[in-house]
């Protein structure tokens, strides 16, 4: 099923290269590999101290979901960052959200977060979304600077969470 009415690619595709050949390369992930599982094992603890990293089964479920696109950023061939784009149709249109953006500490400040976000914006537009939502705690200063630099604007809305 295609959630938006626009079929997307399922293979690993290089979607953006920035700042020269040896710099950041962003790919849309197509398959779960050992490299991917290992990369998430390193990345997720730098995003959340409570969430366990996804294993093969969880990553497979993400890739099989028609609503989800997982991007990775590579520097010199090594996965150093990830971003997940979720695009889904609701009665009022196609909605898109950016989730779980993280770049390895040692690789920050080289444009990986920027390149991942730009790739997600292009993909969301390709899938028919007219805007892209995300949330970021104010304490995440680098992330908030990144999103504002890219053109994200604060929405005046209350964000709620019901804990199950």
Strands (DSSP E) found in 3-152: 13-17, 24-28, 68-75, 78-90, 93-103, 132-133
> Smallest distance from the beta carbon of 67 to ligand COA, in angstroms?
19
Closest distance of CB 127 from ligand COA, Å: 21
Among 108, 118, 126, 131, binds ligand COA (CB under 6 A): 108
142 is a site residue for ligand COA (CB under 6 A): yes
Greatest Cα pair distance, the chain, in angstroms, is 46
Q: Is 143 in the site for ligand COA (CB under 6 A)?
A: yes
String marking each residue 24-63 x if it binds ligand COA according to CB under 6 A: ----------------------xx----------------
Quick one: tokens of 116?
């991942």
Closer by beta carbon to ligand COA, 28 or else 114? 114
Please state, in angstroms and rounded to a whole number, the distance separating the CA atoms of residues 105 and 128: 33
Taking a C-beta distance cutoff of 8 angstroms, is the pair 17, 4 a contact? no
* CB contact at 8 A, 69 and 8: yes
Closer to ligand COA at the Cβ: 94 or 115? 115
Out of 110, 120, 121, 132, name the contact with ligand COA by CB under 6 A.
110
User: How many residues make up the chain in this entry?
Assistant: 164
């Amino acid at each position: 099923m295609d959630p938006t009415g626009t079929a997307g690619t399922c293979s690993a595709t290089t979607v953006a290269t920035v700042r020269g050949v040896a710099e950041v390369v962003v790919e849309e992930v197509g398959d779960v590999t050992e490299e991917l599982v290992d990369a998430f094992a390193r990345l997720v603890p730098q995003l959340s101290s409570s969430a366990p990293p996804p294993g093969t089964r969880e990553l497979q479920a993400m890739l099989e979901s028609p609503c989800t696109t997982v991007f990775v950023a590579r520097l010199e061939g090594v996965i150093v960052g990830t971003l997940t784009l979720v695009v889904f149709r609701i009665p009022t249109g196609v909605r898109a959200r950016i989730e779980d953006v993280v770049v390895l500490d040692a690789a920050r400040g080289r444009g990986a977060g920027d390149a991942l976000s730009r790739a997600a914006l292009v993909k969301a537009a390709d899938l028919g979304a007219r805007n892209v939502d995300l949330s970021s705690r104010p304490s995440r200063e680098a992330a908030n600077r990144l999103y504002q630099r890219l053109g994200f604007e604060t929405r005046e809305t209350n964000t709620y969470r019901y804990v199950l």
